[in-house]
Amino acid sequence: MSLTKHPSVGEFLAGCEEHVNPYRPARLALCPMAADAEISDVSTSDTAREGDFVILWGSYTQIFGIVLKHGEIANNRFGNFHHDEIIGRHFGSRVRSRRGGLWLALLRPSPEFITQSLTHRTQIVYHADISLLRALLDARPGHIICEAGTGSGSVSASLSRALRPNGKLYTFEFHEERQKQAMADFSTYGVLDVVVSQHRDVCNHGFGEELKGQVHGVFLDLPAPWAAVPHVTKCLVFGGKVVAFSPCVEQVDKTATELRRSGYFDVRMLETLATNWGVKRQDATKKKRRTEGTTGTTAAQEAEEEEPKDVPKTSGTGEQWLSYQMPMRSHTGYLLVATRAPDGD
């Protein structure tokens, strides 16, 4: 598989007009849901601008979300990055620190990057679970979804993308200070056209009168999700889905029993984990068998490790790519999903 040369920045910019930035939702909300809606109605510039929330990507564990402001400097382990030198650059640029040397990639703030860059005020839900719960909830534009609790807002950011345009995410947090911080984050992310954040304990006070019978899906990330089930039933439409995320089997068990008693069907319990694979280059010319025996492994074993027979060479070059499994989270939580019985059952 060979890759063609990418166009240069100049070539690219010359052939490209305005671009779409979904994190500028105010204009999107005004845009009609017409089949032939012109994309330019919702587009903004392809470059990072003053006031934009952007991602600076340094490495797989060093991902920063910042709001660009004239005169400010982002300091991190890669150096000092002057916002004025980032403002006006197009997304996908490499931005450099003043002292030179290190660069960061300027990227759009997708919910995946937000999850990896946000401040952890609580345990957060990660990508594999988020993408699965989004499928289980059938979250899509125009739908209304409830979330409790908000936590650090990792799930909320992803659901807001799934529900836009015309959908709404009502997210509830019983910890007052955390709710305020989450609210400020949502404002930064520019998702307040879709997200409504409230301070409320849903297990005791429910989801509110105005949502009665209006909600298409409910996501519960609570210590005692079973206690919220009666309130979920009040706000969920017939045939709507409820998903609970819990780390313990006992929590799932109690919630499943409560859901079945309350007339839910298709109660399913799932676990999903992400296995990540790394890759390293092995130069065919440098490859030589070590003769000195090392303690613990025999020379034969080592030879096998060095020369896997099933790794194909990449075209043209004399290099091989060797895959290896990276450490992974061994457990996050279980997802329990159930469907509210239809009208008349």
173 annotated ligand binder: yes
**Cis omega before residue 165 (within 30°)?**
yes
Task: Find the shortest distance in angstroms from Cβ 107 to another protein.
Answer: 5
Compute the distance between CA of residue 71 and CA of residue 50 in angstroms, rounded to an integer: 10
Task: Find the shortest distance in angstroms from Cβ 38 to another protein.
Answer: 10
Residues facing residue 336 across a β-bridge: 244, 269
Task: Find the shortest distance in angstroms from Cβ 221 to another protein.
Answer: 17
Per DSSP, helices labelled H in 38-166 are 83-86, 111-117, 127-137, 154-163
Indicate which single residue of 36, 209, 210, 292 sits in contact with another protein (rule: CB under 8 A). 36
Closest CA to 18 of 37, 50, 42: 42
Q: Which residues inside 187-206 make contact with another protein, applying CB under 8 A? A: none
Indicate which single residue of 50, 85, 138, 283 sits in contact with another protein (rule: CB under 8 A). 138
Residues facing residue 230 across a β-bridge: none
DSSP labels, 286-340: T-----S-BTTB-HHHHHHHH--TTPPBPSSSSEEEEEEEPP--S---EEEEEEE
Q: Which residues inside 253-272 make contact with another protein, applying CB under 8 A? A: 253, 256-257, 260-261, 263, 265-272
Considering the rule CB under 8 A, would residue 278 count as an interface residue with another protein?
yes
Site string for another protein, 60-99 (x = CB under 8 A): xx----------------x-----------xxxxx-----
Considering the rule CB under 8 A, would residue 298 count as an interface residue with another protein?
no
Task: Find the shortest distance in angstroms from Cβ 208 to another protein.
Answer: 20
Site string for another protein, 96-135 (x = CB under 8 A): ----xxxx-xxxx-xxxx-------------xx-xxx-xx
Compute the distance between CA of residue 14 and CA of residue 27 in angstroms, rounded to an integer: 26
